[in-house]
């Protein structure tokens, strides 16, 4: 059986080797092919800025996939902890309540 922690750790070691840079959204729009190529082939992360602040990033697919795997692990552990807490009687089930009101015509 594959140990998920080992897989994620190995992917993290690959990711820390990537470089990064900043550019405006307008600059990236004009040079999108090169920006995506640097992400794909050089492993570079390019942060896109709007009004001087980072707004988004073009990242290598491996980096985005690693983030998704890490989120899945965190979610899985949180669900397991919540279920264990319910089983032990430490918490009780809380019904889902709609946070928004439906629009009526």
pLDDT tens per residue, range 65-82: 998 888 888 888 888 888
| pLDDT at position 22 over 70 | yes
How does DSSP assign 79-102, residue by residue?
A: HHHHHHHHHTTSS-------SSPP
Cα gap 32→98, rounded to integer Å? 41
Quote the pTM value.
Answer: 0.58
Quick one: which of 80, 78, 96 has its CA closest to 88?
80
CATH for 19-59?
Answer: 3.40.1620
For the chain, give every domain's residue range. Answer: 1-17+60-89, 19-59
Cα gap 32→34, rounded to integer Å: 5
- Distance separating alpha carbons of residues 6 and 88, to the nearest angstrom: 30
């Amino acid at each position: 059986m594959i140990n998920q922690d080992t897989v994620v750790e190995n992917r993290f070691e690959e990711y820390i080797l990537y470089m990064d840079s900043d550019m405006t959204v307008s600059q990236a729009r004009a040079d999108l092919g090169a920006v995506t190529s640097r992400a794909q082939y050089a492993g570079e992360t390019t942060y896109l800025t709007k009004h001087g602040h980072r707004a988004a990033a073009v990242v290598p697919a491996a980096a985005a996939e690693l983030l998704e795997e890490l989120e899945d692990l965190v979610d899985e552990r949180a669900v397991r902890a919540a279920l264990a807490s319910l089983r032990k009687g430490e918490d009780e089930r809380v019904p889902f309540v709609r946070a928004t009101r439906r629009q009526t015509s």
